Amino acid sequence: MFPYAVKEIRTRTALSPSSMKELKYAVNPYSGCTHSCLYCYAMDMTPLRPGDREWGKTVYVKRNFIDILKMEVKRSKRGLVGMSTITDPYQPVETKYRLARETLRVLLTHGFRVSVQTKSSLVLRDFDLISEHTNISDVGTTITTMDGKLSRKIEPLTPGPRARMKIVETASKENIRRWIFYGPIIRGFNDEEENNASIIELAESTGTRIIIDRYNSYTTPDIMLEKNGIKVKDVEYNRWWRKFSKEFRDACSKRNVMCNLESEEWFFQNLDITRTLF
Ligand code: SF4
């Protein structure tokens, strides 16, 4: 059915403490991600993987994930849950297993705040559930570039920019809390003026906040990107990022679009527990 290996496994935990300052927990009902982005840091962080060159060719499905989650939510303190942190919850295998939907349902009905991040318009399927819990949920859409060809180069198996625009636009129409994650931004690849302007325009027209982050170096993604002719080893990187982020944020201010650096999120999160994660 799928053009990659799907392996069903069992897990002992579902709700994991998160190492990200802005999250209390992370949930990852799948391990591995068939979206196969070249820059994916999960390649270096996913314990279950058949090898770097096989990244994206196998996805592990935690078959008892929901049973474990149902037990854990009864005895765990409420808090913000990130779904997912090292895999896209709405990768194609979700059409069959529906673990992301059930995870959302269990968490939201037990009063946990959930922040979803995805690149896939399959999340639209679950807007019914999210709409019923708008005060404790938000949806983040990752957009690296509005240029479909560039996107294919670094995210070969993800839904393209148009599909992602649709997520943001629909969330706006349905009053779902939302944010655009513009990243990873790679110097000389997707940091062009035109791209910036299109993303700001989308944010402005939909009243959506933007979070920006540059590409952060990891061993395997560095190799994958460089192999594909995308330069990431760059001594000017810090200087470029300071300039880029300042100019981008200034451009956002002029259009009344709120923009934050990813590294600032924990601070905002601590200011107001009921606000959108990003
Ligand atoms: S969608 Fe996210 S988790 Fe999946 S390969 Fe791309 S970066 Fe990695």
Q: Check if 35 has its Cβ closer than 6 Å to any atom of ligand 1.
A: yes
Q: Choose the residue to mutate in 33, 152, 155 for probing ligand 1, maximizing ligand atoms within 8 Å of C-beta.
A: 33
According to DSSP, the residues that pair with 143 across neighbouring strands are 182
Confidence of residue 20 (pLDDT cuts 50, 70, 90): confident
Computed over every residue of the chain, the mean pLDDT equals 91
Nearest ligand 1 atom, CA 55: 5
Q: What is the pLDDT of residues 178-205, one digit of tens each?
A: 999 999 999 999 999 999 999 999 999 9
Using CB atoms within 10 Å of the CB of residue 132, give its burial: 0 to 12 exposed, 13 to 18 middle, 19+ buried.
exposed
Atom of ligand 1 nearest to the CA of 33: 4
Q: What is the mean pLDDT of residues 48-72?
A: 83
Please give the backbone phi and psi of residue 168, each rounded to the nearest 5 degrees, phi first: -65, -45
Q: Which two tokens stand for residue 152?
A: 């294919």
Cα of 36 from ligand 1 centre, angstroms: 6
145 alpha carbon to ligand 1 midpoint, in Å? Answer: 15
Domains and CATH numbers, the chain: 5-271 (3.20.20.70)
- Rounded CA separation 158/164 (Å): 10
- Residue 41: name the closest of 224, 186, 262 by CA: 224
Q: Specify the amino acid at residue 11.
A: T
User: In the structure encoding, which two tokens stand for residue 122, read together?
Assistant: 């399959």
Per residue in 206-240, pLDDT (tens digit) is 999 999 999 999 998 999 999 999 999 887 889 99
